[in-house]
Chains A and B, each alone.
Chain A
């Protein structure tokens, strides 16, 4: 897993760390080297992390002709006519479609499995736990090839359907792990109280269990989507003629990546940053409101 999503996450953490740093400083007595070593190190690390992203964003404004390697001048054409380059938008659309479908399937199934694993004792519970761990431990190449062989044997034509199935499969494990932690931290007495207060099983689930699991489920869904959107190896084995955004970039790289791909990559990156910022700001606002009361 590499690319814009991961970089975005790391950057998000860096922003968080910078916010905390000033609060710590007054307590520390600087001794010569320590005073400048850490800031220099941090700046270098930030530059190292940011260069590929900045490069991608800058070259999304490049007035390229056939290849997008050398700077030829500033233009907004790539941003305004992002779908003019054949294949870019189609691949992006496919990635969105696959990501959303796989996320929905994996999140719904994974949430149910997580609740079952924590709340109930049943036969093959331990085996289920182990099986769910396997997709995370198996090298992606092996899993991709295995799935491809399986689809071939079963006679399923490769396409969007097979990619969704493959993605839902490996996302499922991550959803179960994420949601399971949330279910385990849920006091069973809350559900008991719901039943005791005249809530039928479905009312208890939708009014108590589910709302309390929502943060975990949302985190799992976001993780699923970014894993699916980002995936290259497993997709490559099972995509047939269909291109997703990562496979499109890979094939395009041999003859020069079009600037439109930079536009989409930049847009995804900016969107991810925006989501993180909005999340942090609204959490801050909530904390402030709680403090005022």
Chain B
């Protein structure tokens, strides 16, 4: 692809103590954030968590109440949006309906008086494989095509920073997966810094180098996708990014590498270096796919945690895996994802089972113990659905 056309590289983005208040509520509270140049950064959170406001602050479409915004080391907090080296792909695409696709893409180049706007617009349209539709009006394109035009219209300007505001939200699942791959390819091809806002945790994890999970105007955790997934620090992250089994208990013993927590009469061991709190009342957790389902009480074994007995309340088969819901007395519902190694589910609802997992797979959260893991799972699920 015409690499010469897009020769510059992206710039880094820095938010320092950024806060945004609207009349009656605070959308963003004390945000400190650094996005390294040339990376794909995802802001993940439920709707109303402040992620779109954050994006609009960076684009200059909103003014922060406090704090500074720096792009490539330059303070742009007081710079008007049309003077910032930033372009946005809007959630609704916001293509200008009275202009052709080509005019839409050339709009930014023309405003800045850049030479050969038509030629460059064609090049950008070739990048998204839509050059043959350059003379159409946006209304004559499908949703996926409109999305690609919106992307071309932003990328053609070679912004230091490309902001994506849930641009895949309106597409169906199959098209969405395809566009995710294309976006990722284009990002590595043009080498820009992408900041992608989404409420889809799968999208954030598959596309981004770094994910920041936002909740109620704050960033709860930031890191590589696998890092956040394997070691969530808060109950919100544990349940918004995938699912988690969370257990509340009191620390009863503290060893050299792990500490013991009493959960419903069982001693659960958690590695000290995977826990945010190691004393008093704590919440510990484990991912559902790390759990093993056994139908006979397992013999105590070093390095393995056991919960149970419990009763299977629900079995749902999804092809690749089977999800079991197990009601464990005094603990609540435990979710187990079992890979479909044999043909179909291994136990029926009503069966008595135990769950086990390796000590090193557990994690300890920063939150105080909540009423039940299920409630939190439900809360995360509801906020995820709303988003």
Contact = CB atoms under 8 A, between A and B. Distances in A.
A197 B157 contact: yes
Interface of B: 59-61, 80-83, 86-88, 90-92, 94-98, 107-108, 111-112, 136, 140, 153-154, 157
Contact of B96 (A190, A203, A290, A293): A190
Contacts of A208: 96
B157 A195 contact: no
B94 A189 contact: yes
Contact of A189 (B80, B83, B90, B111): B90
A197 B97 contact: no
A198 B108 contact: yes
B81 A293 contact: no
Interface of A: 187, 189-190, 192-200, 203, 207-208, 211-212, 290, 293
Contacts of A198: 82-83, 108, 111-112, 157
B94 A187 contact: yes
Given A197-B157, A200-B111, 8 more contacts: A192-B59, A192-B94, A194-B96, A195-B80, A196-B59, A196-B88, A197-B111, A198-B82
A283 B59 CA distance: 39
10 contacts: A187-B94, A194-B107, A195-B60, A196-B86, A196-B87, A198-B111, A198-B112, A199-B107, A203-B111, A293-B140
A212 B91 CA distance: 20
A211 B88 CA distance: 22
Contact of B92 (A187, A196, A199, A200): A187
A205 to B, nearest CB: 13
A293 B137 CA distance: 11
Contacts of A212: 97-98
Nearest to B86: A196
A293 B136 contact: yes
B112 A195 contact: no
B82 A211 contact: no
Contacts of A195: 60-61, 80-82
B62 to A, nearest CB: 10
**Which of A193, A207, A208 has the most C-beta atoms of chain B within 10 angstroms of its own C-beta?**
A193
Nearest to A199: B111
B59 A193 contact: no
A191 to B, nearest CB: 9
A194 B103 CA distance: 12
Nearest to A190: B94
Q: From DSSP, what is the main secondary structure of chain A's interface residues?
A: helix
B108 A290 contact: no
Nearest to A204: B82
B87 A197 contact: yes
A193 B60 CA distance: 11
Nearest to A214: B98
Contact of A197 (B60, B92, B107, B136): B107
A186 B112 CA distance: 25
A193 B96 contact: yes
Nearest to B81: A195
Interface-central residue, A192, A197, A211, A293, by most chain B CB under 10 Å: A197
Contacts of B91: 189
B153 A197 contact: yes
Contact of A196 (B61, B96, B140): B61
Contacts of B96: 190, 193-194, 208
Contacts of A190: 94, 96-97
A197 B108 contact: yes
Contact of A199 (B82, B86, B88, B94): B82
Contacts of A196: 59-61, 81-82, 86-88
A187 to B, nearest CB: 6
Contacts of B61: 192, 195-196
A192 B112 CA distance: 17
Contacts of B154: 197
Nearest to A211: B98
B151 to A, nearest CB: 13
Contacts of B108: 197-198
A290 B139 CA distance: 10
A255 B154 CA distance: 71
Of all A-B residue pairs in the complex, the 3 with the closest CB atoms, nearest first, are A197-B108, A193-B94, A189-B94
Contacts of B111: 197-200, 203
B211 to A, nearest CB: 24
Contacts of B136: 293
Contacts of B90: 189, 192-193
A111 to B, nearest CB: 17
A207 B82 CA distance: 14
A197 B59 CA distance: 10
B24 to A, nearest CB: 13
A286 to B, nearest CB: 11
